Amino acid sequence: MSQNPQQIQICVRGGTILSAQHRVLRNTYWLLALSMLPTIVGAWLGIQMNFSFFRDSLLIGLIGFMVVAFGFFYAIEKTKNTCWGILLLLCFTFFMGLMLSRLIGHMLGGYSNGAALIMMAFGGTASVFVVMASIATVSKRDFLSFGKWLFAGIVVLLLASLANVFLQITESYLAISAMAIVIFTAYIIYDVQRIINGGEKNYISATLSLYLDVYNIFVNLLSLLGIFGGNRN
């Protein structure tokens, strides 16, 4: 049976689109793996220098962090179609490593099993990422419809986190950390499926989204492990 030329054209176009989506996903995973290296270096240097954005004033440190972070977001978005976008993304992950150094240093210096807790958090985060990315890849369910709910969850999470900066309530901190893990775990499925469905065509932007998901899961998981499983020196 002969095929209609229009049908052939549709098949070729569909194959091309599918190939492009797989290429974006593959490049995203490679760049995400690469972005972990500056994060590790930044965390190590931060520990050596006793780096802290929040040493003098918690509020000023928070404002400074937000300015730098959103500055990176803006610059990465503007250069995402060039090599500068990759460089800026790696610089951002180095900066996030510096920000992570305070928590890592606290774990290593404050708990006798701090190194084990860090490895547990790393392994747990990696496992969550692999499972959620696999679900997003093979599942036929449309997780993109959850986007508005996830965004609303982020807004609530930010407001609760800002409030607890001043209230310093331990129970609230635990609830916020648990909520963050759930939200960013769901965001992994959302972001990966967005790439697969062609909603995100730039692998630098995609990497930034997934990096933030992974980073937030790791930070909050490590914090909870320290509270519930840490052996103080």
Structure tokens at 52: 């802290």
Q: How far apart are CA 213 and CA 166, in angstroms?
A: 25
Q: 69: closest CA among 42, 39, 99, 33?
A: 99
- 221 pLDDT band, cuts 50/70/90, is very high
Residue with tokens 């070729």: 12
Closest CA to 121 of 133, 134, 106, 136: 106
Rounded to an integer, the average pLDDT of 153-159 is 92
The pLDDT tens digits of the residues spanning 43-90 come to 999 999 988 777 767 777 788 889 999 999 999 999 999 999 999 999
State pTM to two decimals. 0.89
Separation CA 157–CA 221 (nearest Å): 15
